[in-house]
Chains A and B, each alone.
Chain A
């Protein structure tokens, strides 16, 4: 063990000087987060007021959102602003690199903004302090009410430049907001920004709703609703609020997800005590049966190329994960470890399947290769499930129920995230108790 560690450290130091520009390796747990200074953006004095918005504070507020995003990755260490040595407008023109190096910063973010004619103009720069170079710069224009998204888009650009991977900050989460006692739990669909801001409730809580999932363009959501006590898969248009039942099935439909092209919904249909997997084409309304087995087949999830489907089935006696071609042929069991396995979800990169594993009274969230090899358990708890991938395939969000209150009789349900390295486990902030998260793709590409 000790030997391994030594080797790892040496490798790190050997490889580091080879980089011309600073770079952050996100393929392993980061024990040495990159110190980064995020200067408040300079607010141009010519900025005009917009009703209901505090333009004066945009500069500091945007920099604080970027800071929070970066801290949340575990890969960066945003430095305290009170140690900053240069005014935002001057630093943005050209930083005095040696001064910033003095506070141990390796990277610096600067920017300025102007609000004019009801438009928000923002530009930012990312500086490599060690090499004394500008790494990236970008300017864009949007409506002033979009200022939080501006912060997320800047975060994504910087993350991309420093890690070489797509970011995941300009994204939203759809989930189930929960309240009330366990036997009369009230559940509503809720949507929020990835950082917990801008929460909106999409249903009123009159009927039970479960398992919402985004379509690839993030405009539609498919979910299970017990409207009129008939559990059926529904389709909801987030902008217009229109809802419809998916298909005309004479029984419960559940466990819905979109196909990667967004044209089909894949789900389970339960008939006479047997659940099998079906797809429905949303345009032609053609329904196809994909599995035909007397066991329970559910929790289907497409591979990102649409060629394969993973699902869980108890055809072997206990719940295990299987992979098949998208026409239902060539079914292969991929989990053979001790315990039972559920909720397979294919990574957006196509390389891994995330899952929930249950063993000896514990629940685990883990990842494995798509043939079932290389199983890694990331987190263990009394009860947790339903992993959902960040769009870059580096982070999983899931939900966890824990006992709370005196004598542990109460309980709470919260969203959590963890890197697929197994590091950086974090509670995701939500207004209420929450479950069944689904992570959107990047809103701006």
Chain B
């Protein structure tokens, strides 16, 4: 009896370790949280400490906690640089139909724009363009590449 419970516990512990390991390696190796990219490989900066882009889940345009943090930094930066205007480019990965992805890119770029506007940036300073899946940043056909391509990028235009 005792032996049996011990064995059961051992199996449970072994299972838990396996699952935890799987999670942590997925996060570390790929820079992915779910299928949202969390790494820095493709990221550029508008200014020191102000990342230019945020990433999205497959077929989604909702902003993650980390995306909101990035956009708040962009808003602070834009408030300090009042003469600056930006274009937000919305992009999708290659795993969708072309026309739907154009709409999806537009929705992602607007999600970022709306967030900047709630942090006091005038909509007049922000233009939006969707490239759908036409301008991938990572040209490979891997889940990692797709996650890096599902993005909105804030670009200075003056």
Q: Which stretch of A61-69, A79-87, A265-273, A422-430 is in the interface?
A: A265-273
Chain A residues positioned under 8 Å from B107 (CB to CB):
270, 273-275, 296
CA of A342 to CA of B129 in the docked complex: distance in angstroms? 22
Contact with A254, one of B94, B102, B114 (Cβ below 8 angstroms)? B102
Chain A residues positioned under 8 Å from B137 (CB to CB):
183
Q: Which of B104-118 contact A (CB under 8 A)?
A: 104, 106-107, 109-111, 114
- Contact A298 B59, CB 8 Å, known A181-B139, A210-B134, A273-B106: no
Does A182 make an interface contact (CB < 8 A)? yes
Chain A residues positioned under 8 Å from B103 (CB to CB):
254, 268, 270, 275, 296, 298
Does A2 make an interface contact (CB < 8 A)? no
Over the window 75-110 of chain B, the binary record of Cβ atoms lying under 8 Å from chain A Cβ atoms (1 yes, 0 no) is 000000000000000000011111110111011011
Tell me how many residues of B have a C-beta within 8 Å of chain A. Answer: 28
Does A96 make an interface contact (CB < 8 A)? no
Chain B residues positioned under 8 Å from A231 (CB to CB):
102, 129-130
Of chain A, the residue at the smallest CB distance from B104 is A296
Over the window 117-132 of chain A, the binary record of Cβ atoms lying under 8 Å from chain B Cβ atoms (1 yes, 0 no) is 0000000000000000
Does B2 make an interface contact (CB < 8 A)? no
Over the window 37-80 of chain B, the binary record of Cβ atoms lying under 8 Å from chain A Cβ atoms (1 yes, 0 no) is 00000000000000000000001010000000000000000000
Q: Please classify how large the interface on chain A is, using the bins under 10, 10 to 19, 20 to 34, 35 or more.
A: 35 or more
Does A279 make an interface contact (CB < 8 A)? no
**Could you give 9 example pairs across A and B, Cβ below 8 Å?**
A254-B99, A296-B104, A312-B97, A319-B59, A358-B97, A383-B94, A386-B98, A411-B141, A436-B98
- Contacts from B to A (Cβ < 8 Å): 59, 61, 94-100, 102-104, 106-107, 109-111, 114, 129-131, 134-137, 139-141
Other A-B pairs beyond A252-B130, A296-B104, A383-B95, 12, CB < 8 Å = A182-B139, A183-B135, A255-B102, A270-B102, A270-B107, A270-B130, A275-B106, A298-B100, A312-B100, A314-B59, A385-B98, A403-B141
- Contacts from A to B (Cβ < 8 Å): 181-183, 185, 208, 210-211, 224, 229, 231, 252, 254-255, 268, 270, 272-275, 296, 298-299, 312, 314, 318-319, 342-343, 356, 358, 361, 382-383, 385-386, 401, 403, 408-409, 411, 436
